[in-house]
């Protein structure tokens, strides 16, 4: 059994190198359709959100990037925002577009029957690409909220054709070093069809677009019972897993702390990443969080998620691959499963504590942050913090 004393140097190196991108919207007030609770000290603008991101990075050493959401993170000067991030030791990551908060988009955005509405949605992405240029971001992330509520409401095939055309225009506006990351979600905000409901639809559009397009897998966006690690393996195999939106869910798109609802699923996902060599930067998988903290404090919530991803990764890295292969080849069903379970059942917290100490970090980032006094300081300094952007 692997313990912190016997973990291979490659395991330590991989853990020390792992990075996780944080969502700016996780730092604002958030809630459900019933109530948005306020938390003292939440950021009043994107600059303060980035200051909070930098705290997560300061204590974990693993969160050097922040995803922005446009227009939630609207500022006059994006170069200044990027410079502010860099001064605090972090960078701007993916730029998320927003197609779900305008009356014009009630019947669709990139799929809307009216070309003028489609143009408006396409132009919004061109503005996001300008933000990418100003901030040095290389990922444009598109979650399409379009869909229909009733059979016959619109032509399913026609909407796919319009979507393909709209995506072509957005793709054509990218710079050569940019990627278009296309997310899917099986339901909500529409309840009969979604225009990108699943990884297959996202992949079909990505393949039609070209090498700069890849799929985003949000762990909360599948029907209950879906085998997410299978999707991971298939997309990695095709070189089309562009990013994760990590969160956890018990019922629907719950956006809870990563690994809270089902840590074993998170391990199985990271196992596919590790065994397919997709942890290294060259594999092009951006490990992002997509969470909304409704009742828990924001910065500690993000720290907890980062630590949970690290623990699942460490468990995946210590799987005895040779023993697993032997058991698989010899048809030893229970033996193969036992190899995985041994790794899953290992307490990797001492190993991660050592890896952090080697980087000069606190062994327990969560405790160290809580002891720092930062939450009291921002509660005193910031009055009238922002809502995350929407109620979910």
Instruction: Determine contact, residues 127/70, Cβ cutoff 8 Å.
Output: yes
What residue number has its CB nearest to Mn ion? Answer: 245
In angstroms, give the least distance from the CB of 172 to ligand PSV: 22
In angstroms, give the least distance from the CB of 145 to Mn ion: 10
**Which position among 21, 139, 195, 253 is part of the footprint of ligand PSV (CB under 6 A)?**
253
In angstroms, give the least distance from the CB of 91 to ligand PSV: 19
Selection from 162, 164, 244 nearest residue 210 by Cα: 164
Using CB under 6 A as the binding criterion, the count of chain residues that bind ligand PSV stands at 9
* Binding map of ligand PSV across residues 262-291, x = CB under 6 A, - = no contact: ----------------------------x-
* Binding map of Mn ion across residues 215-254, x = CB under 5 A, - = no contact: ---x--------------------------x-------x-
SS (H, E, C) the chain: CCCCCCCCHHHHHHHHHCCCEEEHHHHCECECCCCECCCCCCCCCHHHHHHHHHHHHHHHCCCCEEEEECCCCCCCCHHHHHHHHHHCCCEEEEEECCCCCCHHHCCCCCCCCCHHHHHHHHHHHHHHHHHHHHHCCCEEEEECCCEECCCCCCCHHHHHHHHHHHHHHHHHCCCCCCEEEEECCCCCCCCCEECCCCHHHHHHHHHHHCCCEEEEEECCCCCCCCCHHHHHHHHHHCCCEEEEEECECCCCCCCECCCCCCHHHHHHHHHHHHHCCCCCHHHCCEEEECCCCCCCCHHHHHHHHHHHHHHHHHHHHCCCHHHHHHHHHCCCHHHHHHHHHHHHCCCCHHHHHHHHHHCCCCCCHHHHHHHCCHHHHHHHHCCCCCECCCCC
Q: How far is CA 165 from the centre of its chain?
A: 26
- Residue 152, classified by CB atoms within 10 Å of its CB into exposed (0-12), middle (13-18) or buried (19+), is exposed
Nearer to ligand PSV, 253 or 311 (CB): 253
Residues 134-153 that bind ligand PSV (CB under 6 A): 143
**Which position among 183, 195, 254, 272 is part of the footprint of ligand PSV (CB under 6 A)?**
183
Nearer to Mn ion, 21 or 245 (CB): 245
Using CB under 5 A as the binding criterion, the count of chain residues that bind Mn ion stands at 4
Nearer to Mn ion, 128 or 351 (CB): 128
Residues 9-48 that bind ligand PSV (CB under 6 A): 25
In angstroms, give the least distance from the CB of 242 to ligand PSV: 13
Q: Using CB distances below 5 to 8 A depending on partner kind, what does residue 96 bind out of Mn ion, ligand PSV, none? A: ligand PSV
What residue number has its CB nearest to ligand PSV? Answer: 143
In angstroms, give the least distance from the CB of 122 to ligand PSV: 18
In angstroms, give the least distance from the CB of 288 to ligand PSV: 9
Nearer to Mn ion, 195 or 218 (CB): 218
Structure tokens of 361?
Answer: 């970090």
Nearer to ligand PSV, 145 or 259 (CB): 145
In angstroms, give the least distance from the CB of 335 to ligand PSV: 39
**Which position among 96, 111, 135, 137 is part of the footprint of ligand PSV (CB under 6 A)?**
96
* Residue 184 binds ligand PSV, judged by CB under 6 A: no
Instruction: Determine contact, residues 22/65, Cβ cutoff 8 Å.
Output: yes
Instruction: Determine contact, residues 314/11, Cβ cutoff 8 Å.
Output: yes
Nearer to Mn ion, 205 or 315 (CB): 205
* Residue 290 binds Mn ion, judged by CB under 5 A: yes
**Which position among 185, 240, 298, 304 is part of the footprint of ligand PSV (CB under 6 A)?**
185
Binding positions for Mn ion, rule: CB under 5 A: 218, 245, 253, 290
Binding positions for ligand PSV, rule: CB under 6 A: 25, 96, 143, 183, 185, 218, 245, 253, 290
């Amino acid at each position: 059994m692997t313990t912190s004393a016997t973990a291979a140097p490659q395991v330590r190196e991989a853990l020390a190198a792992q990075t996780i991108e944080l969502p700016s919207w996780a730092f604002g007030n958030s809630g459900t359709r019933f109530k948005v609770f306020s938390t003292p000290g939440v950021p009043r603008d994107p600059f303060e959100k980035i200051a909070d991101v930098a705290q997560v990075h300061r204590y974990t050493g693993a969160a050097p990037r922040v995803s922005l959401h446009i227009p939630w993170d609207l500022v006059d000067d994006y170069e200044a925002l990027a410079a502010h991030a860099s001064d605090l030791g972090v960078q701007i990551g993916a730029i998320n577009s927003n197609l779900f908060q305008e009356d014009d988009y009630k019947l669709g955005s990139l799929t809307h029957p009216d070309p003028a509405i489609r143009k408006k949605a396409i132009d919004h992405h061109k503005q996001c690409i300008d933000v990418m240029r100003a901030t040095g971001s290389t990922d444009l992330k598109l979650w399409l909220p379009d869909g229909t509520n009733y059979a016959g409401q619109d032509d399913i095939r026609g909407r796919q054709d319009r979507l393909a055309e709209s995506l072509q225009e957005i793709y054509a506006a990218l710079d050569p070093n940019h990627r278009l990351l296309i997310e899917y979600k099986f339901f909500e905000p529409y309840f009969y069809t979604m225009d990108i409901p699943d990884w297959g639809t996202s992949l079909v559009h990505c393949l039609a677009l070209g090498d700069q397009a890849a799929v985003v897998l949000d762990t909360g966006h599948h029907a209950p019972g879906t085998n997410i690690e299978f999707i991971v393996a298939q997309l990695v195999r095709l070189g089309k897993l562009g990013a994760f939106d990590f969160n956890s869910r018990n019922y629907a798109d719950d956006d809870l702390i990563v690994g809270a609802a089902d840590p074993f699923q998170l391990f199985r996902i990271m196992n596919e990443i590790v065994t397919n060599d997709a942890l290294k930067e060259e594999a092009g998988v951006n490990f992002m969080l997509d969470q909304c903290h409704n009742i828990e404090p924001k910065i500690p919530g993000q720290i907890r998620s980062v630590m949970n991803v690290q623990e699942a990764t460490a468990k995946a890295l210590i799987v005895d691959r040779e023993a697993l292969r032997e058991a698989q080849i010899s048809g030893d069903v229970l033996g193969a499963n036992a190899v995985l379970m041994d790794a899953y059942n290992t307490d990797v917290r001492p190993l991660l504590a050592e890896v952090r100490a080697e980087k000069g970090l606190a062994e327990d980032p969560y405790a160290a942050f809580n002891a720092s006094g930062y939450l009291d300081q921002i509660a005193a300094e910031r009055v009238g913090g922002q809502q995350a952007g929407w109620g979910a």
